[in-house]
A and B are shown apart, each in its own frame.
Chain A
Amino acid sequence: MRFLYLASTVLLVSIIWLTINKYRDLASPGAYTEPDHLEELLADVKKKLPPGASLGMKANVAPDRVDMLYFKSTLVLAPMVVELAERDTMLILEEPGLPPLALDNYERIVSGGNQELTYRVVHLKR
């Protein structure tokens, strides 16, 4: 009986230890996925725009990738409302290797980026 209790305790501790170690790994920057990178990228947008803001979004990438970037940037920017359409205020995401989007009637509010992705938040000229 004592052996059963001891073995159960060892197993329980092993499960907890394995899981805590896994979560420690997952909490480190090495485990970051695209939403985390977008969170870092769009940190200034969250500072510039109010939480209740509503903005459109465009990207210069393939349609599937646009959807992916749309959902991930909406997750990052929530509770702002991001719409996959042209609006007065726009979030423009661009991959540097691809042709940039032309937005003549808009003026820049904030911009930034890294080697993989750049962003601009623009507003319709008055």
Chain B
Amino acid sequence: MLIFACIAATVIAFIEVSSFLHKGDRSRGGLSYPFAFALLLALVGYSYYLSLVASIPYPLVLAGLVVVPGIALALYAVRHHDRSWSLPTFERPGRVLLLLVGLLAATLPFNKQIYRWGDWDAWAIWNLHAKYLFYPEYWTNLFTNKLVKTHPDYPLMLPSLVAYMWRGVETATPLAPMILAHLVYFAIPVTVFLGLTRFNYVFPAVVALCVFALDTKFIEIARSQYSDTLLAFFILIAFVMYKETQQGIDRRLFFLLGFIAGSTTWVKNEGALFFLTFSFAVLCFHFRNFRTILHYAAGALLPFLILVHFKVVYAPANDLIHAGRGTDLLDLIVNPDRYGLIITYFFRTGFTYYSVVLVLLTLLLIRKIAFVKSLPMLVVGLLLSGYFVIYLTTPNDLEWHLSQSIERLFHHIYPACLYLLLLKVSTHSPGFKTVIV
């Protein structure tokens, strides 16, 4: 019985959030769905965590998921005298057909590769954490030094989502994390496609679909059931939403942008670096508009408070930040061999797995398209610098650390970079614009 309540509450909440977003800017069309999906993931993740903290019964979490977006919709209706109710629509069926062909092509390799419980980190960290969150009476067992090898300081978005699904079906089935990985994997090409076709850039959108469907590294990381693809999705949504703010139609978007950017901190610790750099860039580019900054900060407040609560009350110290080092840090920083090794790994990984991004960058340079003085470029540049500093100061063996994580760090920004570069190339190529399909 609970499973039906869980499915019904989740679907109703998704419809409510989609409708809420659609009211703000109807020209956005189907792009409101990926936004709604990201917002719903964040809402479910936070609701489930808060229900554990406050010992709230699961049925009340389901009720809250329906009631909270419902209240937001009602408030909007009263404030804007808009009592109509509608969902985002896809105006052009030809584009839907293209998208579905791309999704079918992406489904085949993903289905071939996915298996129960996923790769090492999936069962050693993410699903393991979810298993503790599945038991509301014992979930704090996770935060003991005895389990330090499973990194209990890692944020809880993915484990909360998995545990939420497990509570719905009342058993810890491995199908739940697989379904979640599948949905997030689908959401990325859908977001990029809709983000580009929203401006009638159909050809670049099809190129993006082909890249995602054929990219074995992207599929390999997505099907591993790690939280890296979830983080990549939130980072992508942040950039697509930022682009939407430039349209100037939906004034709520900076609030939602703050919420999405803040929510990356709840997915992975690397999300905190993204949130810092993104917020810094927003501040730099919009410091003259106090209202915009205020909206962004208000949106980011809840994710920030929840993260602080988790880190202060429950999470043990992080192994990279609290390694108890002092003088040896200077030795690491002044060692030129470390710089060489990191640069080598950066280039090798870029050329081996993310050559599409490099090709697009080259195209921008050849066509002398200015892209350096933009918010996205500042964020990506600062993020890469941040990754560099993390590797430079890592207490772990540098080569081991690089080999274990650099592909996944690049994976976090890969869909966003693809979207941003295709958008930039398209903006300066009028031939890419089509309204036929």
Interface residues of A (CB under 8 A from B): 1, 4-5, 7-8, 11-12, 14-15, 18-19, 22-23, 26-27, 31-33, 35-36, 51-52, 54, 67-68, 70-72, 74-75, 78-85
A121 to B185, alpha carbons, bound, how many Å? Answer: 41
Query: What chain A residues lie within 8 Å of B131 (beta carbons)?
Result: 75, 78-79
Within the complex, the shortest CB–CB distance from A17 to chain B, in Å, comes to 10
Query: What chain A residues lie within 8 Å of B97 (beta carbons)?
Result: 4, 7-8, 11
Contact status B138-A71, CB under 8 Å: no
Q: Which listed residue (A23, A36, A70) contacts B149, Cβ 8 A?
A: A70
Contact status A27-B111, CB under 8 Å: no
Interface check B12, CB cutoff 8 A: no
Q: Which listed residue (A15, A35, A67, A70) contacts B107, Cβ 8 A?
A: A15
B interface residue count range (under 10 / 10 to 19 / 20 to 34 / 35 or more): 35 or more
Query: What chain A residues lie within 8 Å of B173 (beta carbons)?
Result: 27
Which secondary structure dominates where chain A touches chain B? helix
Known contacts A19-B111, A33-B117, A36-B116; is A81 also within 8 Å of B104 by CB? Answer: no
Choose, from B78-86, B121-129, B212-220, B326-334, the stretch at the interface: B121-129
Interface check B58, CB cutoff 8 A: no
Interface residues of B (CB under 8 A from A): 93-94, 96-97, 100-101, 103-104, 107-108, 111, 114-117, 120, 123-124, 127-128, 131-132, 134-135, 137-139, 141-142, 144, 146-147, 149-150, 173-175, 178-179, 182
Contact status B174-A36, CB under 8 Å: yes
Contact status B114-A26, CB under 8 Å: yes
Query: What chain A residues lie within 8 Å of B138 (beta carbons)?
Result: 51-52, 79
Q: In the complex, what residue of chain A is closest to B121 when comparing beta carbons? A: A71
The 6 A-B pairs of least Cβ separation, nearest first, read A79-B138, A71-B124, A11-B100, A78-B131, A83-B146, A4-B93
Within the complex, the shortest CB–CB distance from B346 to chain A, in Å, comes to 28
Q: How many A-B residue pairs have C-beta atoms within 8 angstroms? Tell me.
A: 107
Contact status B116-A32, CB under 8 Å: yes
Q: Which listed residue (B93, B116, B124, B134) contacts A5, Cβ 8 A?
A: B93
Contact status B107-A19, CB under 8 Å: yes
Contact status B100-A75, CB under 8 Å: no
Known contacts A4-B97, A23-B179, A31-B116; is A75 also within 8 Å of B144 by CB? Answer: no
Q: Which listed residue (B93, B124, B146) contacts A8, Cβ 8 A?
A: B93
Contact status B147-A75, CB under 8 Å: no
20 interchain pairs, CB-CB under 8 A:
A4-B96, A4-B97, A7-B97, A8-B97, A11-B103, A22-B111, A26-B115, A26-B175, A35-B116, A35-B123, A35-B174, A51-B137, A71-B123, A71-B124, A71-B150, A74-B128, A78-B128, A78-B131, A78-B134, A79-B131
Within the complex, the shortest CB–CB distance from A2 to chain B, in Å, comes to 10
Within the complex, the shortest CB–CB distance from A4 to chain B, in Å, comes to 4
Within the complex, the shortest CB–CB distance from A33 to chain B, in Å, comes to 5
A14 to B120, alpha carbons, bound, how many Å? Answer: 31
A71 to B150, alpha carbons, bound, how many Å? Answer: 8
Contact status A15-B114, CB under 8 Å: no
A32 to B100, alpha carbons, bound, how many Å? Answer: 31
Counting chain A CB atoms within 10 Å of each CB, the highest count among B117, B120, B127 belongs to B117
A27 to B178, alpha carbons, bound, how many Å? Answer: 11
A75 to B175, alpha carbons, bound, how many Å? Answer: 15
A79 to B128, alpha carbons, bound, how many Å? Answer: 9
